[in-house]
Amino acid sequence: AKAWVLKKHFDGFPQTSDFDLKKIELPDLKDGELLLESVFLSVDPYMRPYSRRIMKEGDIMIGTQVARIVESKNPAFTVGAFVVADRGWRTHFISDGQGLQLLPSSWPESLPKSLALGTIGMPGLTAYFGLLEVCKMKPGETVLVNAAAGAVGSVVGQLAKIGGCRVVGCAGSDDKVAYLKKIGFDEVFNYKTVKSLDEALHKASPDGYDCFFDNVGGEFASVAINQMKKYGRIAVCGAISQYNDSVPQKGPYVQIPMIFKELQMEGFLVTRWNNRREEGLQALLKWVVEGKVKCHEQVTEGFENMPVAFIGMLKGENLGKAVVKV
Ligand code: NDP
156 contacts 170 by C-beta, under 8 angstroms: no
Instruction: Determine the atom of ligand 1 nearest the C-alpha atom of 123.
Output: 43
Residue 11 has what pLDDT? 95
152 contacts 238 by C-beta, under 8 angstroms: yes
Q: What is the spatial distance between Cα 41 and Cα 65, in angstroms, rounded to a whole number?
A: 4
114 contacts 323 by C-beta, under 8 angstroms: yes
Taking the centre of ligand 1 as the mean of its atom positions, its distance from the CA of residue 158, in whole angstroms, is 16
Q: What is the spatial distance between Cα 113 and Cα 95, in angstroms, rounded to a whole number?
A: 20
Q: What is the spatial distance between Cα 306 and Cα 65, in angstroms, rounded to a whole number?
A: 12
Residue 224 has what pLDDT? 97
Choose one of 119, 146, 152 to mutate for the ligand 1 pocket test, by most ligand atoms within 8 angstroms of C-beta: 152
- Residues 6+ away with beta carbon under 8 Å from 197: 191, 219, 220, 223
Q: What percent of the chain is modeled with pLDDT above 70? A: 100
- Residues 6+ away with beta carbon under 8 Å from 53: none
Residue 225 has what pLDDT? 96
CA contacts within 13 A on the Cβ side of 55: 22
Instruction: Determine the atom of ligand 1 nearest the C-alpha atom of 45.
Output: 34
Helix (H/G/I), strand (E/B), else coil: 271: helix
Taking the centre of ligand 1 as the mean of its atom positions, its distance from the CA of residue 316, in whole angstroms, is 8
Q: What is the spatial distance between Cα 227 and Cα 214, in angstroms, rounded to a whole number?
A: 13
CA contacts within 13 A on the Cβ side of 196: 4
Residue 105 has what pLDDT? 84
- Residues framing ligand 1 (Cβ under 6 A): 44-46, 123, 126, 147, 149-153, 171-173, 176, 215-216, 237-241, 268-270, 313-314, 316, 318, 321-322
Q: Residue 196 gets which letter from DSSP?
A: -
Low-confidence ranges of the chain (pLDDT < 70): none
Neighbours of 53 (CB within 10 A): 7
Query: Which amino acid residue places its CA nearest to atom 43 of ligand 1?
Result: 123
Instruction: Determine the atom of ligand 1 nearest the C-alpha atom of 172.
Output: 46
Instruction: Determine the atom of ligand 1 nearest the C-alpha atom of 147.
Output: 47
Angle between helices 122-129 and 151-162 (to 10 degrees): 40
User: What are the two backbone dihedrals, phi and then psi, of residue 126, each rounded to the nearest 5 degrees?
Assistant: -60, -45
Q: Which domains does the chain have, with CATH numbers?
A: 2-118+296-325 (3.90.180.10), 122-271 (3.40.50.720)
Angle between helices 151-162 and 277-289 (to 10 degrees): 80
Q: Residue 30 gets which letter from DSSP?
A: P
Taking the centre of ligand 1 as the mean of its atom positions, its distance from the CA of residue 215, in whole angstroms, is 6
Q: What is the spatial distance between Cα 153 and Cα 158, in angstroms, rounded to a whole number?
A: 9
- Residues 6+ away with beta carbon under 8 Å from 30: 73
Query: Which amino acid residue places its CA nearest to atom 36 of ligand 1?
Result: 238
Q: Residue 27 gets which letter from DSSP?
A: P
